[in-house]
Amino acid sequence: MSRDSERNWKPATSLVHGGTLRSEHGETSEAIYLTQGYVYDSAEAAEARFKGETQGFIYSRYANPTVDMFEKRMCALEGAEDARATASGMAAVTAAILCGLRAGDHILAARALFGSCRWVVETLAPKYGIEATLIDGTDIANWEKAVRPNTKLFFFESPTNPTLEVIDIAAVSALARSVGARVVVDNVFATPLQQKPLELGAHTVVYSATKHIDGQGRCLGGIVLSDKKWIDENLHDYFRHTGPSLSPFNAWTLLKGLETLPLRVRQQTESAGRIADFLADHPKVARVIYPGRADHPQASLVARQMTGGSTLICIELKGGKQAAFAFENALGIVLISNNLGDAKSLITHPATTTHKNLTDQARAELGIGPGTVRLSVGLEDAGDLIDDLDQALKAA
Ligand SMILES: *Cc1c(COP(=O)(O)O)cnc(C)c1O
């Protein structure tokens, strides 16, 4: 099959066949090349490989056929020229943020960030002379005001964790481009199916593949997708020499996850929409935030830049922490876990788990109250989930 025909495939086809490197054995399912190294026919062949005169693999810290398949399949889905897979989402985020910067540069980031992303921007980068400013990213005026002559990188996630705020990717990217800065979007919450940051003007997209891409709670993984020139100049040597490489076994698991990604995300989003509607009308619920409902604070932006809602719901319970804990403890199907994007529905109380390291003020700025819980909707029957939530709300 030629790569040319691959270019016209719809996502569901790319996710089953894209990037396949079938061996001489003709296996149907992708092979797991669980190997550290590669052998050469001769000393001359090794020399030529190292000189770059022949194509091929050298060492699995540099590249591996199973990992390569995962990268190519993700490129086809995202419409990206190139990608590098990583051992976790945080390895991808760290590389995407730090590799293009140097001491004296400035990062402008939306403050509603996954906790570890916020640590990289706010704590790690400044240790190496890279300053960062965190703003409320929902208003483009805040980005304009905070730009400095040395701002080289804009970074944000959308929708955000856990309050599902949405940031205008096209507007922020246009501003960044006008000041010569690059845009990195953490697209985990939207998934590659429901939002295309590169088409909206971003330069680089990062994923924690741990979430919907695996989708069945097994492997950590991540990926950085961008233009080939930027990856060649900024990521290539960093990956070879610092080793954030993805394990071939995990790459294989993620490849199999990609095959069913559209089915899972579509079903989980549909169930989440039903559940959000049920919760919004419930007397024990103060507020539901769900991209895809007409009462989302940025409903028109959601409609403009996303093709679906979300598999996540942010719920504000009446009765604060006590009600939130009683609710979580009374659930029978939904499990208490800080992960997301899984086939199993998971619930977490951000103020005491994922966002416990923030100050009370920082949490309040993000809209995380003592009664806030984040629900990641899984693949169970939506009616069963609604029954479970209903009986737990009665207990709360
Ligand atoms: C989980 C997550 C990460 C980190 O990914 P890991 O695979 O856990 O390292 C980064 N960003 C967002 C938005 C996430 O949800």
| 215-225 confidence digits (pLDDT tens) | 999 999 999 99
Ligand 1 and 89: CB distance under 6 A? yes
Closest by Cα among 177, 112, 105, 179 to 139: 112
By most ligand atoms within 8 Å of CB, the mutation choice from 156, 208, 214, 354 for ligand 1 is 208
CA of 122 to the centre of ligand 1 (A): 16
CA of 75 to the centre of ligand 1 (A): 19
Place of tokens 């996850």: 257
Q: Give the pairing type, strands 372-376 and 346-348.
A: antiparallel
CA of 128 to the centre of ligand 1 (A): 23
**pLDDT band at 8; cut points 50, 70, 90:** confident
Ligand 1 and 208: CB distance under 6 A? yes
Nearest CA, atom 15, ligand 1: 188
Ligand 1 and 114: CB distance under 6 A? yes
**pLDDT band at 388; cut points 50, 70, 90:** very high
pLDDT at 2 over 60: no
97: left (phi over 0), alpha (psi -120 to 50) or beta: alpha
CA of 90 to the centre of ligand 1 (A): 6
The pLDDT value recorded for residue 158 is 97
Ligand 1 and 160: CB distance under 6 A? no
The pLDDT value recorded for residue 396 is 86
Instruction: Give residue-wise pLDDT tens across range 74-83.
Output: 999 999 999 9
Nearest CA, atom 4, ligand 1: 89
Ligand 1 and 219: CB distance under 6 A? no
Place of tokens 């604070």: 297
Ligand 1 and 88: CB distance under 6 A? yes
Beta-carbon contacts of residue 347 (< 8 Å; ≥ 6 apart): 328, 331, 334, 335, 336, 337, 373, 374, 375, 376
Instruction: Give residue-wise pLDDT tens across range 168-207.
Output: 999 999 999 999 999 999 999 999 999 999 999 999 999 9
Ligand 1 and 183: CB distance under 6 A? no
Instruction: Give residue-wise pLDDT tens across range 85-110.
Output: 999 999 999 999 999 999 999 999 99
Fold match between domain 3-257 and domain 261-395: no
Ligand 1 and 224: CB distance under 6 A? no
Q: Which fold has domain 3-257?
A: Aspartate Aminotransferase; domain 2 (3.40.640)
**pLDDT band at 3; cut points 50, 70, 90:** low
Closest by Cα among 115, 196, 121 to 155: 121
Mean pLDDT for the stretch of residues 347-352: 97
pLDDT at 5 over 90: no
By most ligand atoms within 8 Å of CB, the mutation choice from 86, 88, 90 for ligand 1 is 90
Q: What percent of the chain has pLDDT over 90?
A: 96
Answer yes or no: CATH 3.90.1150.10 is held by domain 261-395: yes
Ligand 1 and 93: CB distance under 6 A? yes
Please answer whether residues 345 and 336 qualify as being in contact, where contact means their C-beta atoms are separated by less than 8 angstroms: no
pLDDT at 123 over 80: yes
- Domain ranges for the chain, please list them: 3-257, 261-395
Ligand 1 and 188: CB distance under 6 A? yes
Residue 214 corresponds to which tokens in the numbers above? 């695996």
CA of 191 to the centre of ligand 1 (A): 12
The pLDDT value recorded for residue 1 is 45
Nearest CA, atom 1, ligand 1: 208
Please answer whether residues 81 and 198 qualify as being in contact, where contact means their C-beta atoms are separated by less than 8 angstroms: no
More confident residue, 5 or 8: 8
Beta-carbon contacts of residue 41 (< 8 Å; ≥ 6 apart): none
Beta-carbon contacts of residue 133 (< 8 Å; ≥ 6 apart): 106, 107, 108, 109, 146, 148
By most ligand atoms within 8 Å of CB, the mutation choice from 161, 211, 340 for ligand 1 is 211
**pLDDT band at 4; cut points 50, 70, 90:** low
CA of 44 to the centre of ligand 1 (A): 43
Q: How many CB atoms lie within 10 A of CB 381?
A: 10
- Cα-Cα-Cα-Cα torsion 235, 174, 162, 131, nearest 10 degrees, comes to 60
- Cα-Cα-Cα-Cα torsion 345, 11, 160, 183, nearest 10 degrees, comes to 160
pLDDT at 284 over 70: yes
Q: How many CB atoms lie within 10 A of CB 175?
A: 19
Question: Which is the closest atom of ligand 1 to the Cα of 209?
Answer: 7
Q: What percent of the chain has pLDDT over 70?
A: 99
Q: Report the alpha-carbon distance of residue 320 to residue 371 in Å, rounded.
A: 4
